[in-house]
Structures are given as structure tokens and as C-alpha cells.
Amino acid sequence: MSNSKYGDLIKKAREPNDPVSRKPEDQKTSEPEDQQAREPEQEVNLCVKVPKRLRRHWAAESKRTGITMTSVIVEALKARFGEPE
């Protein structure tokens, strides 16, 4: 086997027209509507430790429904604690 075989596969996988490398168009990846109207803020990570089995379940359900876990977490935190004035 030659290395060019793998090189061709990698090159093909990186092409933007490859359906495997494109995001589904119906996937919701934007911020909640109330955040879109404001100026963009610097985003930071929020780390939460959860059991691996729950993380897998939530990730699968998130992908199945087309809603990001980030938007669900932000929505829950806003409902519980609100936003600063």
C-alpha cells in the first residue's frame, strides 16, 4: 500500500463539498434570540463535571433534537438565576 492512497483520502475528507465534513443545515447552533440583538461579548468556558453516562445520553439527545447543549444550559441558568441588570 502506498502513502498516496491515504493522502488522497485525507484530501477528499477535507474538501468543503464533502457531505461528511459539512454541518447539517437544520442544526441550531446560534445563540438564543435575546442574545443576538446585543453586541457580541467575549465567550468563556463553563466547566461542569457530570457522569460519563449522562454526558453521552445528553449529547445523543441534543444531536437527535438539533439543539445544542450550550443553549439548553444557558436557558436553564437564566431561568434559575436571571441575568445581570
11 in a domain, yes or no? no
Task: Give residue 29's pLDDT.
Answer: 60
- The number of angstroms, rounded, from the C-alpha of 14 to the middle of its chain's C-alpha atoms is 19
Task: Give residue 21's pLDDT.
Answer: 46
65 in a domain, yes or no? yes
Choose the weakest-confidence range: 6-10, 20-24, 75-79: 20-24
Residues spanned by the domain of 69: 24-29+44-85
Helices (H) and strands (E) in the chain, counts: 4, 0
Q: Measure the CA–CA gap between 13 and 47, rounded to whole angstroms.
A: 31
Q: What is the pTM of this model?
A: 0.51
pLDDT digits (tens, 9 = 90+) for 11-63: 777 777 645 545 555 555 666 666 566 778 899 999 999 999 999 999 999 99
55 in a domain, yes or no? yes
54 in a domain, yes or no? yes
Task: Give residue 27's pLDDT.
Answer: 55
50 in a domain, yes or no? yes
Question: Which of 70, 76, 81 lies closest to 47, judged by CA?
Answer: 70
Please say if the pLDDT value at position 84 is more than 70: yes
Q: Is the dihedral of CA 15, 20, 25, 31 positive or negative?
A: negative
- When divided into structural domains, the chain yields a total of 1
Q: Which three cell numbers stand for residue 34?
A: 435575546
Q: Which three cell numbers stand for residue 30?
A: 446560534
